[in-house]
Amino acid sequence: MLGRRDFLKQLAMLATGFFLGCSNILSEQGADSNALEQRVIINLPAYELILTNFRDEKAFENHTFAVSIGRGAEGRKQTPIGEGFIYDKRRIIILRYGDDFPQYNKKRGDLIFWNNTFDESGKPLGHRLDYGELRGLGMKIKPENFDYYDQSNVVHSTLDDFTVGIPASHGCAGVAKKDMLRLFDLVAPNVKDGKLKQPLKLKTVYELVESREDAFVIHANIYNKDMDYVEEFQAKALKTHSSAWFDMDRVKKEFDDASKEFQEAHKQILAKLLKGWPDNYVSPELKQKLHRAYKLADLTMKEY
């Protein structure tokens, strides 16, 4: 049994395939107005993947999944922001050590068979990997301001469900094992494994402010983008609540306070992740400190 879990993990996926181009594939299949179309959006600071089903260009069903994303610190990559495709399903994924661990007689590239993690309550848990329960979705993203597609990241089952909702990966989107089994079955349901004849459109975004019904949710700026919360809020509010009379002094004060809390929580999370198992657990309470929700009435003038 390994005494430490926080080592580098890299995915070596089977059936990587090659993406032929969505326009060519659609022309080969022919237009079918009744065919199911699916799209995926991942809002990185919200740690949220949304799979939307369309028919006749109309959305009729959403499925939402919590994810982990690229850490962007301590030498780990950020998850790229841009547009692309989910182009295959991987019923078998292989996990290998990303570095040498002579103290455990493990070399870079060796298969990982054992994982030390935590159960749902945060209690330390060690278990042998059941590769039959792990799944992956190949994705390619064209990052903003680049003319190439990045195929180095995957949507896949995470070995550590506690990392869902925080920046913990090398750039992949990690999904809790049970959720990943469900997502895998929902994506292109007629394909059990391998390349998709009709790739799903994929978009990764970085929205720090979200409008949700009669509320606004703001998220920690974990990649330190040059973005201002108040400006992002004003742009979002203009689109969704143009008639509301907002108390901008209060908005600024609330967002300044939230930003300070976000920075401290992010710092604590990164420090936790650097520790060895079983001291690297990140609690749901600490994760929640990366977000704040406000009712519409909390941010408007009393006269409104």
- CA 120/CA 125 separation, integer angstroms: 10
Contact assessment for residue 187 and residue 179, using Cβ atoms and an 8 Å cutoff? no
Across the range 145-158, mean pLDDT stands at 94
> What integer best gives the mean pLDDT of the chain?
88
Residue 213 has pLDDT above 60, yes or no: yes
Q: How many residues does the chain have?
A: 304
Q: Residue type for 251, please?
A: V
pLDDT computed for residue 303 by the predictor = 60
Of the candidates 222, 132, 198, 138, the residue with the CA atom closest to the CA atom of residue 173: 138
Question: SS3 helix, strand, coil % of the chain, rounded to 5?
Answer: 25, 35, 40
- Which has the minimum average pLDDT: 27-41, 191-205, 248-262? 27-41
Residue 161 has pLDDT above 50, yes or no: yes
Cis omega before residue 278 (within 30°)?
A: yes
Extents of the domains making up the chain: 9-205, 209-298
Residue 14 has pLDDT above 60, yes or no: no
pLDDT computed for residue 34 by the predictor = 66
**pLDDT tens-digit profile of 27-75?**
333 344 468 999 999 999 999 999 999 999 999 999 999 999 999 998 8
Q: Residue type for 220, please?
A: A
Which residue, chain included where needed, has tokens 């040059």? 226
Tell me the CATH number for domain 9-205.
Answer: 2.40.440.10
Q: Residue type for 268, please?
A: Q
Residue 12 has pLDDT above 50, yes or no: no
Return the higher-pLDDT residue of 62 and 25: 62
Contacts of 41 (CB under 8 A, 6+ apart): 49, 50, 52, 202, 203, 204, 205
DSSP alpha helix (H) spans, the chain: 22-29, 177-186, 229-240, 248-273, 284-288
pLDDT computed for residue 103 by the predictor = 80
For the chain, the farthest-separated pair of C-alpha atoms sits apart, in whole angstroms, at 69
Helix (H) or strand (E) holding 155: strand 154-157
Q: Is the pTM of this model over 0.85?
A: yes
Percentage of the chain surpassing pLDDT 70? 88
**pLDDT tens-digit profile of 59-116?**
999 999 999 999 999 888 999 999 999 999 999 999 888 778 888 799 989 999 999 9
